[in-house]
Structure formats: C-alpha cells, structure tokens
Structure 1
Amino acid sequence: MMALVKDNIWIILIALNYVLAITAATTILLKNINPTKTISYILVLVVFPFLGLLVYYFFGQEYRKNKIFNRKNILNEQIVKKIGEDYTLTAQQKQELNAYLDEKIKLVELLKNNKSTPVTLRNDVYIIKNAKEKFELLFTDLKQATNHIHLEYYILKDDTIGTELINILCQKAKEGVKVRLSFDDVGSSISAKTKNKMTESGVHFFAFMPVLFPRFTGKMNYRNHRKIAIIDGKIGYLGGINISDNYVNYEQSNRYWRDTHVRIKGEALKPLQIHFLMTWDFVSNASCNITEQLFPDTEIATKKAVQIAASGPDTDWANIMEAMFVAINTAEKYIYITTPYFIPNDEIVTSLQIAAKSGVDVRLLIPKQSDSWTAKHATNSYIMRLLEAKVKVYRYTKGFIHAKTMVVDDVFCTIGTANLDFRSFNINFEINALIYNKDTSKQLKALFLEDITNSQEIDIQAWQQRSKFTKIKESYCRLWSPSL
C-alpha cells in the first residue's frame, strides 16, 4: 500500500488539490460576489495547482460575516446609540444643512443609516500638507495631553520619527496619562527593545491581527489601514501619513513624499473615538472603561459639518465607497480626486465616465512612479476608459503622491485612509473624514491645483501608442486587481 502511494504521490496530491480547489470554487460561487473577482479566483485555482489554493487561503476568504470580527462587548452598542442620540439634528439644523448641501444631502442621509456615522456640526478643521507639518503639530498636542492618548496606525516603525513619537508616549505614560496604542502587525516594524521600553513605561499596546511572518505577508487580507490619533478626546488626526521615516522628507531622503492629513477639533471627535474603542476592544480582547473624559463636551463654536465614515470587514456596507459614489453622481461643476492607487470597481469607473460626459470637470491625480509594480500597471489599465470619457488624468512627477482626497463643487471634500481600489473598498479597515464646508473644500481644491503643476497630463493620442508588451503587463496585473 505504501509503495503504491509512493509511486503515485504526485497524482494523489494533484487529485487532492483539485478536490480542495473545487470545494473552494463552489464556496466562491455561492457567495455571489463580483463576477470579475469570482472568475479571477476560479482561474487561479484551476490553472495553478497548489499555488492557487495558497492565493485563495491568503486573499480569497471572506470574513465579513465571520465571527472573527464580531464585537464581544455590548457596551460599544450602547455608546454608539447614545452618541447617535446626542447628534440628532433639530428641524432648523436640518433645514440649514439641506440649503447648503442641496443634492449632496443624500450623502448625509446615506451615512446616517450607519448608526456610528452621525453628522456633527460644530468642528474646527485644519488641512495638513505633508508629514513635517503633521508631526510638528501632533508632537505638540501629545506633549500637552492630560488624560489620554489613543493611536491607531497601519505603519509604525521605531526609526527616527517613530522613536521620537514613542519617547513622547513613554514620557506621558510615566506622567499618568493613559496611553493606548494599536498598530497593524503586517504594516509595522517594532523591535523587542522598543516594546520592552513601552511596557516598562506603562504604554498599553497591541498588534492588530498578529501574523507569524509579517515580512512575508505584506498583502495579507483584512489589515487595519487606518491612521488615527486622539488626544484627550478633544483633538483628532486622520489621513494618509503613517509613522515612518519614509513619509518625512528628510534631506537625505531619496524621494519626495507628498501626503495629506487633517486635524479636527470638535464634535466629530466622539464618533472617531468610538471607532478607536471598537478596534481596541478587538485587539485587547477587553473593554475600555468608559468615562466622561473620553467623550468631553466640545468648546468649538465654528460650524463645519463633519461625518466620520469607517468601513471594513466588520461593517455591513462599504460606507466610504458608497459616499464617494454618491458625491460623484451629485457633482455639478467639478470632481478632483487624488489617490496613489486607482484600481476601482465598475461602479466608480462608470460614475466618473458619466460625470465627465455630462460636462463635469473630472480630474484624477495619480503617481507617475508607484511603490508597487503591480499596482502601477493595474492602475494604468483603467486610464484609457477615463480618457475616452474626457476625464483629465495627471501623473505626479515631483515624487510619490500618497494623499487620498476628493473635493467636489466647493461644497464637499473627504480626506482619509481609503484609496480608490478594491482593497480599500472591500478588504481593509479604513476611515475618512467627510467634510461639508466651502472654505475647507476650497483649501483642498487649491492643494490639488498646486499638485497638478508638478504633474504631467496624459495625452490620449500618446497613451494609445503604448507598446503591446506594456498593455499585456497592464492586463495581467489587472487580473490580480481584487487582491492588490
């Protein structure tokens, strides 16, 4: 018997592979997900024995309804309900918001259906350009913290800027400030020495979904891509800038890094705090003791409407993608989008095409040189469809642009962590600030127009002349777009 197995080991393994592949393919079919994504995974399972199963195991399994992301504490539900009640708008406030937003009130109504996304009216919003300014502001705010510091980051490294941050956290923890830190295990790199230092100083920290070999799992599914900082429940930060020297334009840097972040003070801090606490429950497996100091009343009188939109495998709806979709479809004058990775679904592509063909000034800014070979070519595979619809596409040439922003009609803008790609829409945990304010929107518009002065607009005739080999590379990378 053993001799028979030994002589036919490869036949047995191939047969076992296809039994498992057929089971996996059946599971994918029954989910009724996007047909393109379904076909991509089934082709990989059929064409690449063994490798296909590994790809499906790491990238293809859907956990959205899985218990892995179920929150264990009912306390969070009570907090979310209470915050929602606090921000139920009066009839007069609704009338004022309706008059200002016009058709874009649909955005507010859309996200109000998500119980953790109330619209908040009293906020002060400051747009931050690049990491140098962000860290100067953030470090100043951290040093002035008196009650708590909450940080949640996709990338945290104990390099120059990371060590400076960690030193501040350790000092504040020694002073009695409650410091809670969550970082993604795949995106981050922190030495045992640094972890010991934080532990000894009283910093509470947890890795998000730890993996055995993080260096070899850079695209493991369901990563926490958020970048959140909250100081005393009064000041908050979110956007594209992680904690790493790669984001800081030091003199010795090999490449200029262009990014956008936002600093918020006001009522929007309460929903932002909720999202941090829900993640903290998950990573620490223990609820945080909820006190009034976590949700202080705001002293901000400035009226700037803000919604904090979050999405991930634990949400029933793709909130950020849906908000962008509605914003595009209700645009009347212009849509300016900046994203480092443009690998969208058909809904976003079609809405951009229709807007442009309807006379809306639609512009897309992407990097000329990406930090991902596959993402770059996958992005390029979508450009022709946009150019044909009169969308203006620019490629940033000054360095690498990592900002994730959209501004529409001098009325609405969004700054956050979500790219316009499959991963941000469907797989990763993301968070964006949706801002309904003319002044803030005009500021973001001015930044966009400044950035395109350091960019090259793609000419449709020149783009058509790309070599056949280049187009094949783009098409190949596009096949993997649901997993990038």
Structure 2
Amino acid sequence: MTIISTVFWIIIFLNSILAIFTVFREKERDIAAIWAWLLVIIMLPGFGYIIYLFLGRKISREKIFTIQSQERIGMEQLVESQKKLIEAENLDVPESQYQDKTFELIQLFLNGNKSVLTKGNKIKLIHDGNDKFDRLLKDIKKAKDHIHVTYYIFRDDGIGTKLVKALEEKAKQGVEINVLYDPVGARVLGKHFFDDLRAYGGQVEPFFGSRFFLINLRLNYRNHRKIVVIDGKIGYTGGFNVGDDYLGLYKNMGYWRDTHLRIEGNGVKPLQTRFLMDWNASAKKEIIKYDERYFPFSGLIGETDMQIVSSGPDNEMHAIKKGFIKMISMAKESVYIQTPYFIPDEALMETLKIAIMSGIDVKLMLPNKPDHPFIYRATLSYATELVDCGAEVYIYDNGFLHSKTIVIDEDILSVGTANFDIRSFKLNFEVNAFLYDRGLAKKQVELYKKDISTSFLLTEEIIQGYSKWELFKQQFSRLFSPIL
C-alpha cells in the first residue's frame, strides 16, 4: 500500500506541474480562465488534458493571421464602398442628432469594430419561429441573384429539409447559393444532406474545422452567427437556428421564444460583409471576391438607424460585450435583458450592480427549461447574486426562452446571436444588431412585458428554499464559468 500511495502522489504532483506548465504557456489568457482550466486538469488527471486539448487551447497567432488574411481577400473594394456609402448618405454621425452617450456608443463601434452606422432601415421584429421561417421562405422564393446563408445549428428534420429544398429550387434557376454551417452545431446532419444542393450548383462549406471531433482541435471556437442575405437587399439575423425545435415542436422544450430581425435597407450591407469574410476564412477552394451586385444601393426606406457589430476570438476588442457595458452604463431609467445563459464576467457584473444601486430598473429574464444543466446552474448562481442586489429576475415559464436582447430606456435595442455569457463574448464568433429606434425599442419592451405575464419572479423565498445540494451544484458550476 505504501508503494501504491507513493506512486499515486507522484502522479498527482507531476500532473499538477504539467497542468501549470500547459495552461500558463499560452499567453494573453485571462486569470479566471487560467484557474478554471487548472482546476479541470488537476481534478481529472489524464482526462482533463484530453478536455483541454479539444476545448482549452487558444487559437494560435498563425491561425488568427490566416483567418484575417483570408477575410481580406477581395475586401479592399468593400472598404471603399463603405466610405462611399457614408459620403452618399451623410452617415458621419452628427453629434447634434445623437446626443450625449448615444453618440459615444456609436463612436465606440465605429472606432473599435469599424461598424458603419446605416440610416433609414426597415426592420421587422420577429419573435415566433413559424413567422420567421414563413417570411424567410417567401423571400427565398423571390430571390433573383444570390442567397447567402449562415447558421450555427442546422438539423435534418422538417424545417431543415424544407429550407434546403427551397435553396435547391433557386439553385436550379441559376441563383447563386452559398451556405456556411458550423461543423459542431450541425454535427447531426447526414453526410449527404447537401449533396443535391451541390449538384445543382450551390456551394456549401463548414466553418473553421472538421465535422469529425477526433481531428477537430478547435471545438471550443464556434461560429454562432445566424445570417441570411438575399440579393443584398434583405437580411436576417438573431437567435433562431434551423430545426423543428425552433418551431416549438419538441415536447420536452415546449414553445420556443426567440427574437430575430428581418432587415431591409443599407443595414444589410454589413451583414453581407460579415458573411463574405466568414466564407473566405472557411472556403477551401471557391472564395467570393467583391462584386457590386452584392451591395446594391437601397436608400432610406424605413425609420431605423443601426449598426451591425461582430466579435470573436480572432479579435481582442470583444466589441459586443463592450457595447453591452456601454448600454448599461448609459441607462437612465431601465435595462431589460433576455438571455438563455447568464454568465457575465466581472466587468459586466459590476456594471449591472452599479446600475441597480443607482436606482436603474434592471430586469433579467431567463428560461425555466435548461438545455444545458451545468451552464444553467451557473446561470442561477449569478442571477441569485443580482436578486440580492435588487434586480428583478424573471423565469420564463411558457416553454424555452432563447431570445438574446437588451433594451435600455425604451430607446436603444440590441438583438443578435450573442448570449449574456463569457462564451459568446470571448470564444464564439457572434453578430449583433444595435438599433437606434425608440419605436422599435418600445415594441421590444411591450414584448418583454408580455413575456413577464407567462413568467414567475425569482424571489428570496424561492432562493432560500434551495437545498444545500442545489446550492453546492450552483457554486460548483460557477467555478468553471470562465470556460463554459
């Protein structure tokens, strides 16, 4: 027994030394993530390294350089076209029009993310899956030139098949079809799911890695974006993926509450740009070079000014997170947040606490049906902390809440793909629309209040009723929040 005990402790010691060397050798990782990964590797000798190999390694500088280089292929003309767009529509963001901190938010995205402010867009706020796909399929049917599609999750089921069949019909008609999917989100797709689309001339590519887990060492960095661009005139983005669950057809999840945007106007151009850059960073053969037909002039056709903001592990700006921090800090009356996962970093949590203590009405809405129990328990831990500070936390009880929105003062609204968690801010490739339209923001607040009617308030009584085992699971899950 003495020999076995000695060997055991030698293994533990060596494992700990190797864990420290492995995690610390990757520079520019934040301290919280370092400690979380050390905990994983030390607690799970051997197996922890396997997890780290697939989920923990950062994107190498060489890989980032490759992505950024591919993104730039054929994009020089695009930069010039954006400049012309600004000049043509006088989008120089006059401070007299956008007062105080709103002007600062716009400038934050312009300077930090090169996000052009486009004016006079026509926006439809969509909150039902059937409505979203009915509109999308009708728009696809009318396409004349091209259809560009990106989704994180793509399922081989009723709506997935229906969407691909619609794309196949357009490909037969000579419409350019380009589909980009995430190999992890679409891991359940059959090998031949896109064969007919390819046979009719459509192009289909996986984003950033193989579908085969055993050879994909970048599982942790996913393209969580959802983008559809039709003829450069109509764009879609938001929370809905492609699957029957998003139509509320999964009994275990119930009704699917999400938020999506249908965009008409020059706000489609940044979405198009984002798709082309993602495609060129992923395509093995057929890159897409700049062409004016991808960027038709739209003029002012609506009431909404907006910026499309993207973020990902290829850029240390973390623009969407900074945008959320700025929005919360500039709120004077209210902050309403909807998210399925609430795992903020220290900066966001402190910003929310400051808003609460400053008398701002802070409301957070979470789902009551967790699709990731480990993440959900960490979410409840952070939510409980907000309740203790004075925030109102609502638990949506009418199905599953997947909506990713934040609205302040019934004035500025953000809708997109980013959850309110560290993964979305630092690990996933995301895209959000920031909308400067008081009318649209009020509509979102009305929807929020409607959702409250089918939710229950997370009270001190409920929190005090948690068992010690439940509280332990919440706190234990929270230990790993920097890497969830």
TM-score between both structures, scaled by the size of structure 1: 0.92
Which stretches in structure 1 are left out of the alignment for 5+ residues?
Answer: 1-7
1:354 aligned residue: 354
1:244 aligned residue: 243
Counterparts of 1:368 and 1:196 in 2: how far apart (Å)?
A: 39
Match runs of 1:123-142 below 5 Å = 123-142=121-140
Q: In the TM superposition, what is the alpha-carbon distance from 1:349 to its structure 2 partner?
A: 1.0
Counterparts of 2:10 and 2:91 in 1: how far apart (Å)?
A: 69
Change (3 A) 1:471 1:459: same
Q: In the TM superposition, what is the alpha-carbon distance from 1:51 to its structure 2 partner?
A: 1.9
Q: In the TM superposition, what is the alpha-carbon distance from 1:45 to its structure 2 partner?
A: 2.4
1:173 aligned residue: 171
Match runs of 1:378-457 below 5 Å = 378-457=378-457
Counterparts of 1:328 and 1:421 in 2: how far apart (Å)?
A: 15
Matched residue type, 1:210: G
1:336 aligned residue: 336
Counterparts of 1:168 and 1:240 in 2: how far apart (Å)?
A: 21
Q: What SS does structure 1 have at the residue aligned with 2:315?
A: coil
Change (3 A) 1:251 1:221: closer
Contact kept? 1:306, 1:434, Cα under 8 Å? yes
Describe the superposition over 1:375-396 as per-residue Cα deviations: whole angstroms up to 9, x where unpaired. Answer: 1100011123211221110000
Q: What SS does structure 2 have at the residue aligned with 1:410?
A: coil
Which has the higher mean CA deviation after the structures are superposed, 262-271 or 464-473? 464-473
Change (3 A) 1:396 1:97: farther
Matched residue type, 2:321: M
Change (3 A) 1:205 1:478: same
Describe the superposition over 1:122-151 as per-residue Cα deviations: whole angstroms up to 9, x where unpaired. Answer: 211110011100000000000000000000
Matched residue type, 1:176: G
1:264 aligned residue: 263
Matched residue type, 2:141: K
Q: What SS does structure 2 have at the residue aligned with 1:337?
A: strand
Q: In the TM superposition, what is the alpha-carbon distance from 1:75 to its structure 2 partner?
A: 3.3
Q: In the TM superposition, what is the alpha-carbon distance from 1:482 to its structure 2 partner?
A: 2.0
1:155 aligned residue: 153
Counterparts of 1:299 and 1:330 in 2: how far apart (Å)?
A: 30
Which has the higher mean CA deviation after the structures are superposed, 162-171 or 196-205? 196-205
State the number of aligned residues. Answer: 475
2:201 aligned residue: 202
2:282 aligned residue: 283
Q: Which runs of 4+ in 1 moved over 6 A?
A: 8-16, 89-92, 215-219
Counterparts of 1:85 and 1:255 in 2: how far apart (Å)?
A: 46
| Aligned equivalent of 1:59, options 52, 55, 60 | 55
Q: What SS does structure 1 have at the residue aligned with 2:473?
A: helix
Work out whether 1:49 is the aligned partner of 2:49.
Answer: no
Q: What SS does structure 2 have at the residue aligned with 1:448?
A: helix
Which stretches in structure 2 are left out of the alignment for 5+ residues?
Answer: 1-5
Q: What SS does structure 2 have at the residue aligned with 1:114?
A: helix
Work out whether 1:323 is the aligned partner of 2:323.
Answer: yes
Matched residue type, 2:455: S
Q: In the TM superposition, what is the alpha-carbon distance from 1:249 to its structure 2 partner?
A: 2.4
Contact kept? 2:254, 2:400, Cα under 8 Å? yes
Change (3 A) 1:333 1:219: farther
Change (3 A) 1:480 1:217: farther
Counterparts of 2:203 and 2:149 in 1: how far apart (Å)?
A: 10
Matched residue type, 2:314: D
Q: In the TM superposition, what is the alpha-carbon distance from 1:10 to its structure 2 partner?
A: 8.8
Contact kept? 1:71, 1:278, Cα under 8 Å? no
| Aligned equivalent of 1:39, options 14, 35, 39 | 35
Work out whether 1:108 is the aligned partner of 2:124.
Answer: no
Q: What SS does structure 1 have at the residue aligned with 2:69?
A: coil
Counterparts of 1:97 and 1:246 in 2: how far apart (Å)?
A: 44
1:4 aligned residue: none
Question: Percent same amino acid at aligned positions?
Answer: 35
Q: In the TM superposition, what is the alpha-carbon distance from 1:210 to its structure 2 partner?
A: 3.4
